[in-house]
Amino acid sequence: MRDLTSDTITEAVISTMRETKDPRVAEILESLVRHLHAFVRDVGLTEDEWARGVDFLTRTGQTCSPTRQEFILLSDVLGVTMLVDNLTNRRSGEATENSVLGPYFREDRPRQAASADISGGLPGTPLFFEGQVVDHEGAPVADAAVDVWHSDSDGHYDMEVPGLDEPAMRALFRTDDAGNFGFRSIRPSSYPIPGDGPVGELMSATGRSLMRPAHVHLLIEAPGFQRVTTMLFPSDDPYLDTDPVFGVRESLVERYDTYAAGTGPRGGATEAPYTLLRRTFVLEPHVTD
């Protein structure tokens, strides 16, 4: 293996990996080398550009910390996260579709009983959420675990709200025998993805908006069914068609209806107009090999 040229180096690199034991690892590495070399040839990558790329990826890694994952954010804005989801979680019929998980899910969320107010006392338009979890035949799924999390009316998650020490606007619920769950909170707002790192540079260099449309995240799990990682967007949000992480699906756009002050679902009284969001989630059975 000497005197390799731009015509021979790709096969030469691949041939060094002949002894790879795991066939899937072998397949992935061969394809990665082929695509990487093809990309370098395609754009005629210069040494300076190569060095900039190395610097970008180095800083992306350096920006990661226990509370920040810049590589996943890079995957999100390049559409890779949603592409992998599309390829691995094909849903049939009415089954609820996935979206990105995002960086704001927390393991230390409180378990809450039905009808709980999870707003943490933060100001905002009252939001009532009434959900039901059913299977593909419409039968209720009881005791499903339903995680919910969302931003406040300024677009901040609880860990970003100054002075807020307890989890808020997030909770883990269990569906009742009719598959229902419901809670009270405040209406979330649109917000920007983190823009102060290398991903922010990429977004600004390409003239892209950082703003995500408002949404309520849900993660639903029940034995025998595929996990649903999803979110619901208000149909009047101005950022639906420019989501920087490509997470919007038509089936996840919902009416966030507004009602005059009074009594909301489950007897919840409001002194201001409130938003009511209703949604049925359809779970897809596990794929059995």
Give the range of 11-19, 99-107, 131-139, 260-268 binding ligand BEZ by CB under 6 A: 99-107
Residue ranges in 119-178 that form contacts with ligand BEZ under rule CB under 6 A = none
Tally the C-alpha atoms within 13 A of residue 271's C-alpha that lie toward its C-beta. 2
Q: In angstroms, what is the minimal distance from the CB of 82 to ligand BEZ?
A: 10
Q: How far is CA 100 from the centre of its chain?
A: 2
Q: In angstroms, what is the minimal distance from the CB of 217 to Fe ion?
A: 6
Q: In angstroms, what is the minimal distance from the CB of 233 to ligand BEZ?
A: 10
Among Fe ion, ligand BEZ, none, what does residue 277 contact (CB within 5–8 Å per kind)?
A: none
Among ligand BEZ, Fe ion, none, what does residue 97 contact (CB within 5–8 Å per kind)?
A: none
DSSP bridge partners of 185? 127
**C-beta separation of 6 from 38 below 8 A:** no
Give the range of 98-106, 126-134, 218-226, 250-258 binding Fe ion by CB under 5 A: 98-106
Residue 82 sits in the site that holds ligand BEZ (CB under 6 A):
no
Among ligand BEZ, Fe ion, none, what does residue 187 contact (CB within 5–8 Å per kind)?
A: none
Using CB under 6 A, pick the residue from 63, 75, 76, 158 that binds ligand BEZ. Answer: 76
Nearer to ligand BEZ, 149 or 274 (CB): 149
Q: In angstroms, what is the minimal distance from the CB of 191 to ligand BEZ?
A: 8
- Burial of 197 per CB tally in 10 Å (0-12, 13-18, 19+): middle
Residue 100 sits in the site that holds ligand BEZ (CB under 6 A):
yes
Residue 102 sits in the site that holds Fe ion (CB under 5 A):
yes
Residue 264 sits in the site that holds ligand BEZ (CB under 6 A):
no
Amino acid occupying residue 140: P
CB count in 10 Å sphere of residue 40 = 15
Q: Considering CB under 5 A, how many residues would be counted as binding Fe ion?
A: 1
Amino acid occupying residue 93: G
Q: In angstroms, what is the minimal distance from the CB of 13 to ligand BEZ?
A: 34
Amino acid occupying residue 126: P
Give the range of 17-25, 51-59, 85-93, 95-103 binding ligand BEZ by CB under 6 A: 95-103
Residue 102 sits in the site that holds ligand BEZ (CB under 6 A):
yes
Q: In angstroms, what is the minimal distance from the CB of 89 to Fe ion?
A: 19
Can you give the binding site for ligand BEZ, defined by CB under 6 A? 73, 76, 100, 102-104, 193, 212, 245
Can you give the binding site for Fe ion, defined by CB under 5 A? 102
